[in-house]
Amino acid sequence: MKRFIYLLVAFALVLTINACSKTASEKKTESPAVETESTLTHAHLAVNGSCSMCKERIESTAQAIKGVSTAKWDADEQQLHLNFEAAKTSLKAVSKVIAQAGHDTELDKAPEDVYNALPECCKYRK
């Protein structure tokens, strides 16, 4: 009986881990994700960058936009996680401002002159 319970628990654990896992490539191929909670909208936006200076620039640029309450950029996944008020701004507006700061997004490309003015450590284009 104990052996059966152990097997059942192990099987449930394997199913849970399998259901929760997602590879990085699967995450990168998704389109921008948007979820709405009360008055805040949570969204993910692919943003290119390469270092801690990029992280600071991307997050501070996004947070300076009226209506954005939080902005966290994950360098490993190249994803910006945003919480914003949809009545004040949009994912497209945030994308345009970040591109103007020198970082390509999945929706907008940074102007060449702005990208070229970034510090060498921030250059992510090949």
Task: Profile the chain (126 residues) by mean pLDDT over runs of 10 residues.
Answer: 56 52 45 63 97 97 97 97 96 98 98 97 94
Asked, for residue 100, whether it belongs to a domain, the answer is yes
The pLDDT value given to residue 31:
52
Token couple for 82: 């945003």
Q: How far apart are CA 101 and CA 59, in angstroms?
A: 11
Asked, for residue 13, whether it belongs to a domain, the answer is no
Contacts 24+ apart (CB under 8 A), 14-20: none
Asked, for residue 1, whether it belongs to a domain, the answer is no
CATH label of the domain that carries residue 53: 3.30.70.100
Please give the residue range of the domain that contains residue 42: 24-122
The pLDDT value given to residue 39:
86
Asked, for residue 6, whether it belongs to a domain, the answer is no
Asked, for residue 76, whether it belongs to a domain, the answer is yes
Q: Which helix (H) or strand (E) holds 113?
A: helix 112-116
The pLDDT value given to residue 24:
41
Could you tell me if 48 and 116 are in contact, meaning their C-beta atoms sit under 8 angstroms apart? Answer: no
Q: How far apart are CA 119 and CA 65, in angstroms?
A: 23
Could you tell me if 78 and 87 are in contact, meaning their C-beta atoms sit under 8 angstroms apart? Answer: no
Any idea what the Cα angle at residue 57 is, between residues 94 and 106, rounded to 5°?
40
The pLDDT value given to residue 22:
45
The pLDDT value given to residue 25:
40
Asked, for residue 86, whether it belongs to a domain, the answer is yes
Token couple for 25: 């490539």
Asked, for residue 106, whether it belongs to a domain, the answer is yes
Asked, for residue 72, whether it belongs to a domain, the answer is yes
Q: Indicate the number of domains in the chain.
A: 1
